[in-house]
Amino acid sequence: MAILEKDRVYIKVPYNANCIAAIKNIPTRRWHPELKQWSVEEGFAPKLAKVVNEFYPLAVEKFIPSEAKVIHNTSVVPYSLTLDQKSLEKIHLTNGLSLFPFQETGIAFLQQTKGKALIADEMGLGKSAEALIWISITQDVCPVLCIVPASLKRNWEKEIDKWLTNKTIQIIQNGKDEIISGKDFYIINYDLLQKRKGDLEKIKYRTIILDECHYIKERASQRTKVAMSLAKSAKHIIGLTGTPILNRPKEMFNILNLISPGLFPSWWSYGLRYCGGHRTDYGWDFNGATNLSELRMKVMPLMIRREKKDVLHDLPDKRRETIYVDMLDELKIIYKKTELELITALKEFKTWKKEQGLTIKKDPKDEQKYRMVLLAKLNYLRQIVGIAKAKQS
């Protein structure tokens, strides 16, 4: 186990050649391969922070002093932002549900931005609940179009039923489903957007929720183009993601442009200013990161991000969440066939036991054979369920 030295500050950053080169210019810097971290003497910590901030202002920054205490601040919204009493009175939760204080802050942030914001809380902090409760206390926001990964469609249906009452929902499962007018919520996955674009435009939705909105980071992909086109017709746009930037600033442009086209009107100007856009022998390269402090300041009014560490005092010791997934059609066929075989085998076993009577005690080997067959079929059913879960993860 690596030992942290006294009077040194440690930091771990994603690999970036330019960032590493800048760190190497800091006096007292040292690379620790066993920790995969850089360190400097405490006196040079501000310089280290300045260098890293230039490349990763929106990423999580972890400084580990000698006493191994994590120092960080990833929130871009003051924690003092709270819901007013009138808004709190509009929230009607049933089944013993309640909101954490930081969730109320997220809802207040959506109010402040008039439903045009990026909620970038860490996974598991209840981003969907914040969006849904804001919808419940705001007028003229339905119909709502929820664009989500395929594996989360059923889960979104359950979340809406859980947090909201008397809301009608349609899950659009495939390219042939008839879209029923008059629903409050329509749920569709990214991969279906291109096939159903014309039908979706007829809904005249007022709010669009883009769950895991980093799915639209690639400007050239078809699902991004359709999602962008659909979102521009909505009055309110809520992006949800636990990873606002996976690698580079260019990945944020699409959602920022949707939320605030006034601040981020042009990809070209954004790419030149914040992505180090420059011409190469093979065309334009926008894979860089420049003027990041300025970008951070522009993003602050649009995005709220909290990590579990930030809100640990609000959270219980343990939380459990059920995520519902649908089996692929081919797995459903195999599962149902095996399930019928198991039911038939159980009936045969029950009949056999009646016929054998007390003789089973004298020679239990035949019974063991039956039990092994039943156990094998049961394990196969579990295996199919495991495969279904793995495919949706």
In angstroms, the CA 370 to CA 377 distance is 11
In angstroms, the CA 36 to CA 58 distance is 21
Strand, helix or coil at 236? strand
**Strand 207-211 to strand 144-148: parallel, antiparallel, or no bridges (unpaired)?**
parallel
| Buried/exposed code over 172-202 (b: 16+ C-beta within 10 A; e: otherwise) | beeeeeeeeeebbbbbbbbebbeebeeebee
In this prediction, residue 297 carries a pLDDT of 80
Going by C-alpha positions, the residue among 83, 84, 104 that lies closest to residue 311 is: 104
In this prediction, residue 187 carries a pLDDT of 93
Whole-structure pTM over 0.75, yes or no? Answer: no
Tokens of 332: 């459903």
Tokens of 4: 């942290």
In angstroms, the CA 27 to CA 47 distance is 10
In this prediction, residue 361 carries a pLDDT of 54
**Mean pLDDT across the stretch 116-145?**
90
Position with higher pLDDT, 359 vs 118: 118
Mean pLDDT value across the chain: 80
Going by C-alpha positions, the residue among 50, 147, 120, 70 that lies closest to residue 312 is: 70
Contacts for 242 with CB less than 8 Å, ≥ 6 apart: 120, 121, 122, 123, 127
**Strand 236-240 to strand 116-119: parallel, antiparallel, or no bridges (unpaired)?**
parallel
**Residue 138, CA distances (Å) to 127, 150, 163, 183, 201 in order:** 17, 28, 14, 17, 23
Q: Are 309 and 69 in contact (CB under 8 A)?
A: no
**Mean pLDDT across the stretch 209-227?**
90
Which residues are paired to 118 by β-bridges? 239, 303
In this prediction, residue 147 carries a pLDDT of 94
| Residue range 220-239, pLDDT digits in tens | 889 899 999 998 889 999 99
Going by C-alpha positions, the residue among 155, 153, 147, 119 that lies closest to residue 243 is: 119
In angstroms, the CA 240 to CA 210 distance is 6
